[in-house]
Chain A
Amino acid sequence: MSLLSAEDLVVRHGLLQAVRGVSFSLERGETLALVGANGAGKTTLLRAIAGAHQAASGRVAFDGDDLSGVPSHERVRKGIALVPEGRRLFVQMTVEENLLLGRTAGRPGDWSVERVLDTFPNLKPRRHAKAGHLSGGEQQATAIGRALMSNPDLLLLDEVSLGLSPLVVDRVYASLQGLIGSGTTIILVEQDLNRALSVSDKVICMLEGRIVLAGDSKSVSRDEVTKAYFGLHRKGAGGVPA
């Protein structure tokens, strides 16, 4: 049984259909890279899986449970954690307080404030600093740490490299490699195709709310993904990962 499956998922922003009949599935321990141009519907899809955006139709199932109508805080309790685009930290709170908020769902597991600080050593001296006073890289590390504190089975990462210097991105991805190696199931929205393909098992390319390419990251060429990215991919090529 798949850990996550979406069937004919439709999500709207008012009159705009941001996600149009998307279907895919993800096995436990896999890393899926979700790529596509701005406005392709990647963030909306992640938010719909996390429950932050209600689906207009279709179905998301997690670990065998239908998530229709399940609010976002309940989904965290079930094991889904989202690192949102733009980090969305609570800027009036300290790093430690932001991390502790991740424990609200009360899922058992190994993640603690100390373990997050060991994973992201740049946060150690900033433990009691207000999140609003952190650098971009420190904020991103805090946002990932906050999501990990809920001990998720599925981690949704939305544009973790956005607005960060290449050096900081390298550092964030070095930390993520550890998570991927530990068997955490991850969906990664990433603009950097090379990086997305190098860390993932599967790749999905979205265009105007639809999946235009899906396949194994190792078997899909960068050229194919680039063509799909710009809408130049032949219809019918690639397949929806099982």
Chain B
Amino acid sequence: MMNQIVQGVLLGGYYALIACGLSFMFSVMRIINLAHGSLAVLSAFALWLLASRFHISPFLGLLVVLPLMAAIGWALQHFLLERSARGGALLPILTTFGLAIVIDNLLFEQFGADTRSLAPFIGSLSYDSWEWPGSLYVGKLAVIIFITAVVLLGGLQLFLTRTGLGRSIRATSEDPDTAGIVGVDARRSMAIAAAIAMVTVGLAGAFLGMRATFDPYAGATQLLFAFEAAVIGGAGSLWGTLIGGIVLALAQTLGARIHPQGFLIGGHVAFLIVLFIRLYTSGLGLRGLLRLSTRKAS
């Protein structure tokens, strides 16, 4: 049981990492990026291409891919999200949904349906483990991913609270009009925030490729995990995202212990329970929710 808890917590680090960008974009830019998973898979494919064609280690490849992802984030905000946001809250969601379809199909067109992995390019790291007291075996890669998630989330928190640029991003998020009259370039702040979010997505994509296999349509599953972790942790809270990731992973581990097919179901059940508790404590309640949906339908 202890072994499963430890594995669950470490897996939670990966979920926190994949949810980090989604949560950051939501909290800062008020955008739910449905292309989040597809962009992570795009990053994994870019690293795979560098590794298989040019024999560049995925860790070194990050030096190329992460700036590229930052540039993609900046361009996305500047040319797509900012314009679509002018059309209301729903339009950016539909835009990112469309973007996800475009990315998935472009990857399929380019790489075919074969599954790939970055594991062959990182030596024994993908399966090496440490033995901890009590006959616990923890994967080295899982520990690296967990530490990366903690450092990344802590770093983002520090960046937002301790730097001028971080304060500008928070101010723009809270009130873009007032941010402008105190001297903040709101467009630049949002473009930088999008670039930062894409760097975290790129990192998550790299670890996705190292710890598992991926294919052009793997983005939807990653988006689902990210979304569940972000909602469980309280969308928009960076440290909450880490807790959300851990809770999701532990629920999946528990689900798998109850039934061999229960891995995903366990996570979904935890997500739904938290969602309903949040709705209930928000004062809306189940009845209110039903009344709301009935009113909308009529």
For A69-81 the 0/1 string (1 means CB < 8 A from B) is 0011100110001
Check A154 for interface membership: any CB of B closer than 8 A.
no
In the complex, what residues of B have CB within 8 A of residue A52's CB? 177, 180-181
Q: Is the CB–CB distance between A92 and B170 below 8 Å?
A: yes
* A interface residue count range (under 10 / 10 to 19 / 20 to 34 / 35 or more): 20 to 34
Distance in angstroms between the alpha carbons of A236 and B176 in the assembled complex? 41
Check A215 for interface membership: any CB of B closer than 8 A.
no
Check B174 for interface membership: any CB of A closer than 8 A.
yes
Check B168 for interface membership: any CB of A closer than 8 A.
yes
Per the 8 Å Cβ criterion, residues 149-173 of A in contact with B are: 150
In the complex, what residues of B have CB within 8 A of residue A101's CB? 167-168, 171, 179, 182-184
Check B109 for interface membership: any CB of A closer than 8 A.
no
Q: Is the CB–CB distance between A90 and B170 below 8 Å?
A: yes
In the complex, what residues of B have CB within 8 A of residue A123's CB? none
- Name which of A102-110, A112-120, A188-196 contacts chain B: A102-110
How far, in Å, is A194 (CB) from chain B's closest CB?
29
Q: Is the CB–CB distance between A103 and B164 below 8 Å?
A: yes
Distance in angstroms between the alpha carbons of A9 and B156 in the assembled complex? 44
In the complex, what residues of A have CB within 8 A of residue B131's CB? none
Number of A-B residue pairs, CB cutoff 8 Å, is 66
Check B114 for interface membership: any CB of A closer than 8 A.
no
For A84-107 the 0/1 string (1 means CB < 8 A from B) is 100010111100010011111110
Number of interface residues of B (CB under 8 A): 17
Check A42 for interface membership: any CB of B closer than 8 A.
no
How far, in Å, is B183 (CB) from chain A's closest CB?
3
Which of B174, B177, B183, B185 has most chain A Cβ within 10 Å?
B183
In the complex, what residues of A have CB within 8 A of residue B181's CB? 50-52, 72-73, 76, 81-82, 84, 88
Q: Is the CB–CB distance between B184 and A104 below 8 Å?
A: yes
Choose from A71, A91, A92, A146 the contact partner of B182 (Cβ within 8 Å). A146
How far, in Å, is B217 (CB) from chain A's closest CB?
39
Distance in angstroms between the alpha carbons of A102 and B184 in the assembled complex? 9
Choose from A71, A90, A103, A105 the contact partner of B178 (Cβ within 8 Å). A90
Distance in angstroms between the alpha carbons of A50 and B183 in the assembled complex? 10
Distance in angstroms between the alpha carbons of A77 and B188 in the assembled complex? 15
Check B186 for interface membership: any CB of A closer than 8 A.
yes
Choose from B170, B177, B185 the contact partner of A93 (Cβ within 8 Å). B170
How far, in Å, is B239 (CB) from chain A's closest CB?
16
A76 with B183: in contact, given A88-B175, A90-B175, A91-B174 (CB under 8 Å)?
yes
Distance in angstroms between the alpha carbons of A151 and B181 in the assembled complex? 14
Q: Is the CB–CB distance between A73 and B184 below 8 Å?
A: yes
Choose from A81, A100, A147 the contact partner of B167 (Cβ within 8 Å). A100
In the complex, what residues of A have CB within 8 A of residue B180's CB? 51-52, 71-73
Per the 8 Å Cβ criterion, residues 55-78 of A in contact with B are: 71-73, 76-77
Distance in angstroms between the alpha carbons of A73 and B182 in the assembled complex? 7
In the complex, what residues of B have CB within 8 A of residue A90's CB? 170-171, 174-175, 178
Distance in angstroms between the alpha carbons of A92 and B171 in the assembled complex? 9
In the complex, what residues of B have CB within 8 A of residue A51's CB? 180-181
Q: Is the CB–CB distance between B178 and A88 below 8 Å?
A: yes
Which of A50, A72, A84, A105 has most chain B Cβ within 10 Å?
A72
Q: Which 8 A-B residue pairings sit nearest by Cβ, starting from the closest?
A: A105-B183, A76-B183, A72-B180, A104-B183, A88-B178, A73-B185, A82-B181, A72-B181
Chain B positions within 8 Å of A, measured between CB atoms, are 164, 167-168, 170-171, 174-175, 177-186
Starting from the known contacts A93-B170, A97-B167, 10 additional A-B residue pairs (CB-CB under 8 Å) come to A73-B180, A73-B186, A90-B170, A90-B175, A92-B170, A100-B164, A100-B167, A102-B183, A104-B168, A150-B182
**Could you list 26 examples of A-B contacts with CB < 8 Å?**
A51-B180, A52-B177, A52-B181, A71-B180, A71-B185, A73-B184, A73-B186, A76-B181, A81-B181, A81-B182, A88-B175, A88-B181, A90-B175, A93-B167, A93-B170, A93-B171, A97-B167, A101-B168, A101-B182, A101-B183, A103-B164, A104-B168, A104-B182, A104-B183, A104-B184, A147-B182
